[in-house]
Structure 1
Amino acid sequence: MADSSMARFYRDRGYLLVKGLIDKEEARAFREECHAVLARSRPSDPTWDSARQLTDSVTELRHCHDVQFHSAAFARLIVDPRFTDVAAAVMGSENVQLHHTKIFVKPAERGSPFPLHQDAAHFPHTRHTVGAAIFHFDDAPEEKGCVRVVPGSHQRGPLPHVEEGGWHLPLSQWPLEQAVPVEAEAGDVLFLSYLTVHGSGVNRAGEARTTLLVQFRDPEDRPADDVHRSRGQGMMLRGVDPLGGA
């Protein structure tokens, strides 16, 4: 499924929306699985304090880390070649290693936003190959708080972030509304470099926005700091680890 034009677009702009990577029926089944996992989990709200400055309304999020340990459906998905082949292509590596997974649900009418930020601020690596894949299990128009990106921002390298309130870029210098909305449909997957500046708006629609985040890397790209560990980190999703797990 992956081709050179995808890799070139990602390299130039720092993101790539792959339409229909999984079909609508699969997306519906994964959506149900996400909500079932959350129903079995202890509820928590990871809304950043800084996000509350972006809206006057009370908002919330629901999430779950390491989802492949909660449901085998996600264990199968993260090694699906439809996903891993694109991940390999955009990184320029035959080998794809897992960093972490996370379900994100923005509840209907009150789903929390995310200020603009780079994922690199949360788990820096030495070669900057780290990428994210956001699987959309229902439609994500702008009204539902779709992801917004700053195209080409990955070329600026790591940027200084404000630690207080969630490791975000300064709100006055990086207003969310100036980023480009990337509307998606159920079954679409958005690939992002961890250096690409991105965020998302409030879900004001009458339906939840349901996504799965998979962070991946080239296994030869080592963490710059020991700041983020997760269950399953280091699992090979495609290819081999040339470093032998070192």
Structure 2
Amino acid sequence: MTEHLGADALTTYRENGFLLVKGLIGKEEARALREECHALLGRLADGPDPTWGSARELVDESVLRHELRHCHDVQFHSAAFTRLLTEPRFTDVAAAVIGSPNVQLHHTKMFVKPPETGSPFPMHQDHPFFPHRGHAVAAAIIHLDDAPEEKGCVRVVPGSHLGGPLPHIEDGSWHLPTDEWPLEDAVPCPAEAGDVLFFGYLTVHGSGLNTSAEARTTVLVQFRDPADRPTDDQHRDSLGQGMMLRGIDPTGRKEADPA
């Protein structure tokens, strides 16, 4: 058991499908990484807004616009993120939640929800995006500034992972029917700078609109047990996929045939 987890933490994770670890990184570390994120946005050319089309169903008609800033593979833009990915405080918890001493990177993303217009995400599982045989895939959302409800914090459905993969609607991205899985019925997970939310890729989750006067800044890390193989070729071209964050890859990186 990692020193950053309480005695009942893993039981809670297995039952609920998610776990918020308070203060996993320090406030000053979070502040410095936040500055790295916003500096990176300043260096990037404006690209397409990654807001899902289905997010429009979640926004009140009085909100004229909503937007999201993002960047994939942040570790290729700044060494600060490379150091973060291999930080034992993070990788030890990651190993604990997937039940393997070996932690392999799938991909990273930076998300910035701008003040007052930061886009929501409909409820969904991550499974449809990159299904794996053993479901030993999880995510960590690293909060680099405070994320109260008004900033559009992550919302989850406790225990939803126990039902296995769910049928999703594909309309530019994968999401669950918004009438059956309303965002407002999910449990909010407000967080402070330095907190890290871990959840399995079968856990139903989403996030609300940022209506506050401040940006919400997070880094998402998707990771897996390297012994768990994907069932198809989705996302196999991710630039950093396969990097070992902890332990070894016992497969020798031999790709198994899909299906």
Q: TM-score range by the shorter chain?
A: over 0.9
CA contact (8 A) 1:21 1:82 kept: yes
Residue 53 of structure 1, CA deviation: 1.2
Deviations 1:88-123 (A, max 9, x none): 001110000000000000000000000000000111
Q: 1:5-24 alignment to 2 at 5 Å?
A: 5-24=8-27
Deviations 1:187-244 (A, max 9, x none): 0000010000000000000000000000000000001111113111000000000001
Q: Matched residue of 2:222: which SS?
A: strand
> Mind listing any 5+ residue stretches in structure 2 that lack a counterpart?
255-259
Distance 1:9 1:31 in 2: 29
Instruction: Confirm or deny that 1:242 pairs with 2:245.
Output: no
d(CA) in 2 for partners of 1:133 and 1:105? 16
Instruction: Tell me which of 208, 221, 224 is aligned to 1:214.
Output: 221
Per-residue displacement from partner, 1:45-67 (whole Å, max 9, x unpaired)?
10000001111221000000000
- Aligned residue pairs total 246
Distance 1:165 1:220 in 2: 30
Consecutive unaligned residues in structure 1, runs of 5 or more: none
Does the 8 Å CA contact 1:21/1:187 hold for their aligned counterparts? Answer: yes
Corresponding residue of 2:41:
38
Residue 230 of structure 1: aligned partner: 238
2: distance between equivalents of 1:109 and 1:175?
21
- What are the within-5 Å matches in structure 2 for residues 3-82 of structure 1? 3=5, 4-44=7-47, 45-55=49-59, 56=61, 57=63, 58-82=65-89
Paired residues of 1:116 and 1:176 also in contact (CA < 8 A): yes
SS for the counterpart of 1:171 is coil
Cα distance in 1 for partners of 2:19, 2:46 equals 32
> Identity percentage over the alignment?
70
Aligned-pair RMSD on alpha carbons?
A: 0.9
Q: Distance in 1 between matches of 2:106 and 2:172?
A: 23
Is this contact kept in 2: 1:6–1:90, CA < 8 A? no
1:38 deviates by: 1.2
TM-score normalised per structure 2? 0.93
Letter in 2 for 1:7: L
| Counterpart check, 1:189 vs 2:193 | no
Query: TM-score, with normalisation over the residues of structure 1?
Result: 0.98
